[in-house]
Structure 1
Amino acid sequence: MSHLPATAVTAAANQLMLAGHWAAATDLLAAARTDDPAEQQVLALARATVAVDHDFGQRSDHATAALAAVPEDSWDLAMFKLRKDYADALFNSGDRDLRDRMLTLIKDAPDDARRGTANFWAGAIADNVYEQPAEAIEHYRQALELAEKSGDELTMAQALRHLGHHSHAAGELLPAREQWERSTELLQQNGHLRPTLAQQVHIAILLRDEGDIDGSAALATEVNRWARQLGIGFIIQQTEELMVRRTPQEPPR
């Protein structure tokens, strides 16, 4: 029988998760066995990570059981619970007192990388649950600064993606393009497929707004194919709308 440290198993599972292979990542982690309590905690947190990401992509509910199975409380577990409850608030119109929890996670973060992560999710919550764009932008900027400082490229990518959304909403198409293209590059470098596809939807929207209707529809078509392979419903819907070659001023039929 082969023996691997828990960190090696969780690293492999993380790469599968980033590629959208949630079931394979879960199966790998479920097959790992250890009597070491510290390694059990590592594996349980990894299973929770995969479950939370899976639920966000496919509107499923794997995280409830996975989070409950983590033996010990920690900052990381609290962060995953916040992310789950944010998804519930976003997709099911809940709240669950997210604001105080997100601010506590920022304050209590054990290092710059985690503080950057907490700021990013605080921005998403301020943006999409409480509709406070100015507050959200400040959190995204803090997340970007801390992620650059700590070398966390995935948080950098997510912060840039959301800052680009606000640039685009303000009609600032050039900054939006720069932020979105850099975000896409970072996501691709790290193999995180789901947000890469979501980011390319934004670029397709930008192409449409710049007048390149055919380019927008072509990119949306390719993203739609990937999204169907992963079963990501909201990206499928967004790209179907863009695949119709329609100018921004023309109302949908």
Structure 2
Amino acid sequence: MSTAGRWERAALLLDSVTADDPADRARIVRTHAEVALDRDWFAGTDTAAVRIQAAEREFPDGDWDTGFLRLRHDYARLLHGAGTLRIGPAGKDPEALAALRDRARDLHGEAPDEVRRGWAAMYRGLIADNHFADRTDAAGHFARALRAGQDGADDLLAREALRHLGDLDRDAGNLERATERWRRATALGERAGAVPGTLSQQLLLAVLARDAGDEAAATALATELARWAEAIGAGRLRAGALAFLRGADPTAPGPTAPEGDAAAPEPTAEDATASGRAAPAGMAPAPGAPV
């Protein structure tokens, strides 16, 4: 249910579950943390920290899955900072970044199965790319993540890897391969029922439409994405779609669109017209970009 963007309902269902076994109760607490983390990423909320702390108390001797939730949370916190998406190491705490990279390496080595090892590789790639601006190192980790998730092993992992490999392809000027990978990523997300993840992928397809000069298709995709995102409460996704309609490139480094959607107006005809002009200096990447 969390994968479908129904975070509040998922949390309510978890609250309604009773468990006598301490191990089962601990898993429920950990699942609560995962739901909160997903919600924070797509909606721009701040609910996961307390939930992750509660999960860590349930596993005082350590637990791979809880450690991975902590890694994901710290990755996002360092990435977004005070509402700004910060690509590369500039302006960040080098010790915190080094510790994050070391923890991802350790989780990769300690993973209890191949799929979890693939997710750890995925985050090693994300950290290398978005915190250290090392795209060569990132590409190798993304490729390992794809191998771990392909052939039905974990569609969401394969989707995430394809999403970021496609971003590297586009930056290298290989739009044909970027298109193929991003379309495959979209299909995998749809098959897995990942509503907010598929919406974020639709924004990348809108980017490709704009790259190809089809502004009408780009505008149509982003407009529908904004409406869907508002309907499920994914404020960060909605803000990214609206920024795209105003001309932002959601894959370029720089400040993000505002988190949440309280001040974001509905897409208008003016937005559709404006989306054909170049992005203002310093604008984007919008939330939902491959970060």
The TM-score normalised by the length of structure 2 is 0.77
1:61-104 residue CA offsets vs partner (Å, 9 max, x unmatched): 22122112221120000000000101101111665321100000
1:234 corresponds to which residue? 236
**Counterpart pick for 1:26 among 11, 23, 36:** 11
Cα contact 2:44–2:236 (8 A) shared by 1: no
**Counterpart pick for 1:87 among 76, 79, 87:** 76
Post-superposition offset of 1:247: 7.4
After superposition, the Cα gap between the structure-2 partners of 1:251 and 1:119, relative to the gap in structure 1 and judged at 3 Å, is closer
Specify the code of the residue in structure 2 equivalent to 1:84. Answer: H
Specify the code of the residue in structure 2 equivalent to 1:194. Answer: P
CA distance in 1, matches of 2:152, 2:24: 25
After superposition, the Cα gap between the structure-2 partners of 1:38 and 1:59, relative to the gap in structure 1 and judged at 3 Å, is same
**Counterpart pick for 1:146 among 148, 154, 157:** 148
Specify the code of the residue in structure 1 equivalent to 2:76. Answer: A
Post-superposition offset of 1:113: 0.5
Give SS of 1:17's match. Answer: coil
* Aligned-pair Cα RMSD in Å: 1.9
CA distance in 2, matches of 1:152, 1:197: 19
2:265 corresponds to which residue? none
Cα contact 1:113–1:150 (8 A) shared by 2: no
CA distance in 2, matches of 1:228, 1:38: 37
Post-superposition offset of 1:38: 1.6
1:107-160 residue CA offsets vs partner (Å, 9 max, x unmatched): 111110100011111111111112111111111001001112671111000000
2:118 corresponds to which residue? 116
1:159-212 residue CA offsets vs partner (Å, 9 max, x unmatched): 001111111111111100100000000000111111211111010010011111
Unaligned runs of 5+ in 1: 1-15
CA distance in 1, matches of 2:29, 2:109: 25
**Counterpart pick for 1:74 among 54, 57, 63:** 63
Cα contact 2:244–2:275 (8 A) shared by 1: no
Cα contact 1:123–1:136 (8 A) shared by 2: yes
After superposition, the Cα gap between the structure-2 partners of 1:242 and 1:59, relative to the gap in structure 1 and judged at 3 Å, is closer
CA distance in 1, matches of 2:13, 2:22: 19
Specify the code of the residue in structure 2 equivalent to 1:75. Answer: W
Larger mean Cα displacement after TM superposition, 155-164 or 39-48: 39-48
**Counterpart pick for 1:64 among 45, 49, 52:** 49
2:105 corresponds to which residue? 103
CA distance in 1, matches of 2:239, 2:192: 25
CA distance in 2, matches of 1:171, 1:230: 34
RCO comparison, higher one (Cα < 8 Å, 6+): 2
Specify the code of the residue in structure 2 equivalent to 1:86. Answer: Y
Unaligned runs of 5+ in 2: 87-91, 246-271, 282-291
CA distance in 2, matches of 1:248, 1:108: 48
1:36 and 2:38 are equivalent in the alignment: no
1:10-65 residue CA offsets vs partner (Å, 9 max, x unmatched): xxxxxx10111111111111111111012112211111111111111122222122
Post-superposition offset of 1:252: 4.9
2:186 corresponds to which residue? 184
Aligned residue pairs, count: 238
Specify the code of the residue in structure 2 equivalent to 1:80. Answer: L
Give SS of 2:2's match. Answer: helix
1:10 corresponds to which residue? none
**Counterpart pick for 1:166 among 165, 168, 171:** 168
Would you tell me which structure has more helix in proportion to its own residues?
A: 1
